[in-house]
């Protein structure tokens, strides 16, 4: 008389030939048990995760040391890698909003043991952080006087630039042209939020107007001394597609 285990195996064998798809799903559940409350979560696609993070997390649930930070944590990890490798004397952050990312950058420089964060923003009403390494420059990033002030702060120093300001194509391209000369050879010009150009309008990320990604492509057609460092996108869930631009000479 067959044992219970034998009956189960025999049923599985018959199902494999009569209903292979059903049998394989059952086998996966048997071999790889997973809690029901996590099964659905871990079945989420990368696309769905990015939309979920943008709509449900980034504008209220993402913080650095208590300060709101509109940042993808996968990108923040890459930033600390780049900062450690480059060890810039100045990090120019164009667009700071609440200041969470500004504070994160200052803390990373604390760990490295050198550097200043030049925070450029037109509006300080939400900016709620302070740190000895942070220098505030308040004004339109595209204004000549703002560019001149930041240029003076970077003079003679190794510099890295992060663009997280106005995300429309024309202002982004304008800023890339204005601030790229500050970037030291071997350092980076990081352009944030090109992810919006990969999504459809109305899905939580996409917009109707061209954004950072076409600005990046236009900039790269003009400048052969910058190249996309695709290795910085290895965690896949980045907000900055083709946005990690390394100055190669």
- Give the whole-angstrom CA distance, residue 169 versus residue 154: 25
pLDDT at position 10: 57
14: in domain = no
pLDDT band at 24 (very low <50, low <70, confident <90, very high): low
Tell whether 122 is covered by a domain. yes
pLDDT interval class at 8 (50, 70, 90): very low
State pTM to two decimals: 0.86
What confidence category does residue 217 fall into, taking pLDDT thresholds of 50, 70 and 90?
A: very high
Q: Which residue has the tokens 């923040």?
A: 76
Would you say residue 195 lies in a domain?
yes
For residue 109, give its domain range. 63-247
In a domain, 99, yes or no: yes
pLDDT of 28 strictly over 70 = no
CA angle 243/120/233 to nearest 5° reads 15
pLDDT of residue 57: 95
In a domain, 24, yes or no: no
Eight-state DSSP code of residue 206: B
Residue 7 lies in a domain: no
Residue 140's CATH number: 3.40.50.150
Q: How far is CA 20 from CA 8, 15, 28, 177, in A?
A: 16, 6, 12, 58
Is position 183 within any domain? yes
Mean pLDDT for the stretch of residues 47-73: 95
Number of domains composing the chain: 1
Dihedrals phi, psi of 192, to nearest 5 degrees? -90, 155
In a domain, residue 197? The reply is yes
Residue 143 has pLDDT above 50, yes or no: yes
């Amino acid at each position: 008389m067959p044992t219970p285990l034998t009956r189960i195996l025999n049923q599985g064998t018959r199902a494999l030939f009569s209903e292979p798809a059903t049998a394989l799903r059952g086998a996966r559940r048997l071999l790889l048990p997973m809690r029901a409350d996590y099964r659905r979560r871990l079945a989420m696609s990368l696309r769905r995760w990015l939309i979920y993070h943008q709509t449900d997390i980034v504008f209220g649930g993402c913080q650095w040391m208590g300060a709101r930070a509109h940042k993808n944590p996968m990108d923040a990890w890459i930033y600390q890698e780049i900062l450690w490798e480059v060890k810039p004397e100045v990090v120019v952050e164009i667009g700071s909003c609440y200041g969470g990312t500004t504070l994160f950058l200052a803390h990373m420089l604390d760990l490295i043991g050198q550097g200043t964060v030049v925070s450029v923003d037109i509006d300080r009403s939400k900016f709620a952080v302070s740190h000895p390494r942070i220098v505030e420059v308040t004004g339109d990033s595209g204004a000549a006087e703002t560019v001149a002030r930041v240029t003076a702060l970077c003079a003679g120093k190794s510099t890295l630039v992060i663009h997280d300001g106005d995300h429309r194509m024309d202002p982004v391209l304008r800023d890339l042209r204005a601030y790229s000369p500050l970037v030291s050879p071997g350092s980076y010009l990081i352009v944030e939020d090109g992810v919006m150009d990969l999504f459809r309008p109305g899905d939580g990320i996409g917009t109707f107007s061209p954004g950072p990604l076409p600005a990046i492509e236009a900039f790269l057609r003009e400048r052969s001394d910058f190249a996309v460092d695709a290795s910085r996108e290895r965690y896949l869930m980045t907000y900055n597609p083709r946005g990690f631009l390394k100055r190669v000479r």
